[in-house]
Structures are given as C-alpha cells and as structure tokens.
Amino acid sequence: MNTNVVDHPLAAALLTTMRDVRSDNATFRAALRSLTHMLVYEAMRDAPVEVFDVDTPVATTAGTRLANPPLLVPVLRAGLGMVEQASALLPQARVGFVGIARDESTHQPVPYLESLPEDLSRFPVYVLDPMLATGGSMVHTIDLLVARGATDITAVCVVAAPEGVAALRASGHPVRLITASIDEGLNEDAYIVPGLGDAGDRQFGPR
C-alpha cells in the first residue's frame, strides 16, 4: 500500500492548531478545511488530465482538465468538515456519504448511513475522514466501495495511527493513504496518541 505523509511547514502548523486542546470548534473546523486543501492538492498530484483548446482573450492555447473527476466520500460525522473544501478544489466531483459511529466500548464501527452510486467501477474514489485509528471505520467504508466495483481508492486522513495503517494494508484492498501525520499509536480507549481528540466532537460538539 502506498502511504504519503505530507511534509510541509504550513500543513504542520495547521495540524498543530487542530491538536491544541485550546482551539475552539470554529478554529478547529477552519484548520481542518485548510489542511484538507493541502492533503487533496497533494493527493491529486499525479491525476490524469486531458488537453483541450481554450480561447484566451488573445489566442487559442492548450488547456487541461481532469480526465476523470473523482467521487468524494466523507465519513460522517467528522469527514463532513473536509468535503466542502475538497469539493471547492474539485468542482466536477460527485459526493457520496457513509455514516459510521464507533462503539465507545468495543471500538468497533457501527454503520448507520450509506448513500453511494451503484457502480463505482469508473471513478477514482477519495474517502475523507480526519482520523484513522484502529482502521475499522475506514476498512468498513472501503469494503462498501469495493463491493460497488471501486478499484482506485484514496484514503485522505489528517492523522493516522500505525495500527490503522496496518489494518488498511492487511485489508488487501486497492487503497493508498494520504495523511499529515502517522502518530505514535493508540491508547486503551483506542484514541490516537498524541492525536487531537475526537474529531467529530471537536467540530460539532459531543454526540
């Protein structure tokens, strides 16, 4: 599995704002939006383009556009804070939704929403979720995508735990990972250390 840790001072500063326990909900959401911009920008670096003629006010020249705009899939709730910025960068992208809430005691993913196109065999798919902890929620999401024919999947996560990276790899699914950090690991509550807490709660308040 290909893993790309975005190494950039601006990304590191935004991640620091998100980690900081003193950042309020609005500050956290704003930093997540800006960091999503950087992660998606990096994730799309090698996206195939097609060339077409475009008329400037002066001449005709070669323009480019994405050959195959992706499907964006935010994992609710926390992934909602990433989708507006990703859509702004990719105005032709379609958006599907998956809702999963981790069980606090078992740490297993509990799915509650699935709204996806029937056939994903034609789309690159970008899954948006700030946190990859045990990997259970991401692997469940990717199971859904693969069942609909997806073969080109990118997980865009702000923070990943080594355990989550290993789970993604072990799933054997066709996925690559873009993240701003691979942290130390998980604590006894399966929270990422040092992490940033509960990314859903920090944007929207406790469930």
Ligand X SMILES: O=P(O)(O)OC[C@H]1O[C@H](OP(=O)(O)OP(=O)(O)O)[C@H](O)[C@@H]1O
Ligand Y SMILES: O=c1cc[nH]c(=O)[nH]1
Q: Which residues are annotated as a binding site for uracil?
A: 192, 197-199
Specify the stretch interacting with ligand Y by CB under 6 A; choose among 27-35, 58-66, 170-178, 188-196.
Answer: 188-196
Closest CA to 2 of 178, 156, 206: 178
Per-residue CA distances from 94 to 59, 120, 171 (Å): 32, 11, 26
Cβ 44 to Mg ion shortest distance, Å: 27
Could you write out the DSSP letters of every residue in 113-177? EEE--S--TT--EEEE-SEESSSHHHHHHHHHHHHTT---EEEEEEEE-HHHHHHHHHHT-SEEE
In the complex, minimum distance from the CB of residue 183 to ligand Y, in angstroms, rounded to a whole number? 9
Partners of residue 54 on adjacent β-strands: 61
Residue 16, helix vs strand vs coil = helix
Interface with ligand Y by CB under 6 A: which range of 13-21, 44-52, 111-119, 187-195?
187-195
Ramachandran area for residue 36 (φ above 0: left; ψ -120 to 50: alpha; else beta): alpha
Q: Does 198 bind Mg ion (CB under 5 A)?
A: yes
Residue span binding ligand Y (CB under 6 A) among the ranges 14-22, 63-71, 140-148, 190-198: 190-198
**Helix/strand/coil for 25:** helix
When binding is defined by CB under 6 A, the residue of 77, 85, 156, 165 that contacts ligand X is: 77
Catalytic amino acids? 102, 106, 198, 201
Q: Which is nearer to ligand Y, 96 or 200 (CB)?
A: 200
DSSP structural state of residue 53: E
Compute CA 47 distance to the chain's CA centroid, rounded to the nearest angstrom: 16
What x-and-dash track marks residues 129-168 binding Mg ion by CB under 5 A? Answer: ----------------------------------------
Does the footprint of ligand Y cover residue 71 (CB under 6 A)? Answer: no
User: Which residue's CB is nearer to Mg ion, number 1 or number 101?
Assistant: 101
Contact residues for ligand X, defined by CB under 6 A: 75, 77-78, 100-102, 107, 109, 129-138, 164, 190, 198-200, 207
